[in-house]
Amino acid sequence: MATETHSRFVLVFSGKPLDTKCFTALPIRPAFCIWKIISCSYGAGHSPTMNGNSRMLRIQALFCCLLIGTSVVAQERGYRLLVADSSKGRIAIVAEDGLLAWEYKIGPLHDLHSLPNGNVLFQSDWRTIIEVDPKTNQLVWSYQAGKDASGRRVEVHAFQRLENGNTLIAESGIPRIIEVDASGEISHEIAIQVSQSHPHRDTRLVRKLPSGNYLVCHEGDGRVTEYSETGAIVWDYQVPLFDRPPASGHGPEAYGNQCFAALRLDSGNTLIATGNGHRVLEVTSAKQIVWKLEQDELPAVQLAWVTTLQVLPSGNIVIGNCHAGEENPQIIEITREKKVVWQFHDFEHFGNSLTNSQVLSIDGSPIIARPGVDR
């Protein structure tokens, strides 16, 4: 369920605290608030019955919402999201009221897209990319990667539907980027360069830029590389370790430079999610760091494996915070001044492996995000 900063309340009726799990950090609207509070339980042995006490509970709930309404409604923001977590085996569209509007069973996943036609492009396992119509749950298109891998193990960690209708797929373990048409025929292919090929580490997210070049996160090498359409290296950036030794693991205690996502901003700078580096970096074409977000720089939030990035029309940045534990939000929106303006924290439907997300709308206004630039 999407959460708002500073929206946690403890309500007490007749000396008995309500079960705060029903309303902890909700994106509360007045009617939604009333319904949630009334539907809360007193706990074992204290459930209200449909009598005068129940009616009094409704009156008290309404009065409480009126009292807190000024502070809550001022913070009201509804987010529609596409979210996936392989630990729960679920990709889902979360509606602006926090309820699941659609879901689909998945295996491992490292990329997803809501397409302009409303369909969802994602993967059901490391090698299978599928397009599904969420209105009908019907499979529209699929592609099985690694068809000509000559027995080599292949994994896919990135893909993108292109403007011409073809689909970009990065095949780790070969390693290469291919573009396939609707029938699955390869229309374009380039080799990408890694120090030692590995199906799980050659790449994370890969995006084709408006220029036609490819921006690639090489997780195993800790490197972001821009390739031309012919496969020549145009730009290359080694993600720094900042004089700190690597540490194994996936949570906040781990450390490295295994970058997950990179965007080429309109300014020409590159925004990088450093994975287990617990940071977001913005670097110039000359490789100078001009902005960064550190692991413990946000109040009451600790970054772990920093995954997806999305730049909203407001200029705010939405950050994926994977493997950070239930005490931390899974998705965070911050301003350029590093103020947290929104958080997503839902460990009921999603778990500690929420790797990928896309903001689809805010307060009913669709968010148009350009692949490689905004997300």
Q: Which of these ranges, 33-37, 162-166, 314-318, has the smallest mean pLDDT?
A: 33-37
Segment 308-315 shows an average pLDDT of 98
List pLDDT tens digits, range 238-260. Answer: 999 999 999 999 999 999 999 99
Q: How many CA atoms lie within 13 A of 269 on its CB side?
A: 13
| Summary mean pLDDT of the chain | 85
What sign does the CA torsion over 38, 40, 43, 49 have? positive
Q: Given a cut of 90, is residue 295 above it in pLDDT?
A: yes
pLDDT of residue 76: 60
Which CATH number is associated with domain 135-353?
A: 2.120.10.30
Name the token pair of 45. Answer: 């042995």
Model confidence at 77, pLDDT cuts 50, 70, 90, reads: confident
Q: Given a cut of 60, is residue 278 above it in pLDDT?
A: yes
List pLDDT tens digits, range 153-208. Answer: 999 999 999 999 999 999 999 999 999 999 999 999 999 999 999 999 999 999 99
d(CA 15, CA 118): 49
pLDDT of residue 5: 38
Which of the pair, 189 or 72, is modelled with greater confidence?
189
Q: How many CA atoms lie within 13 A of 316 on its CB side?
A: 16
pLDDT of residue 147: 79
Domain boundaries, the chain: 2-74, 135-353
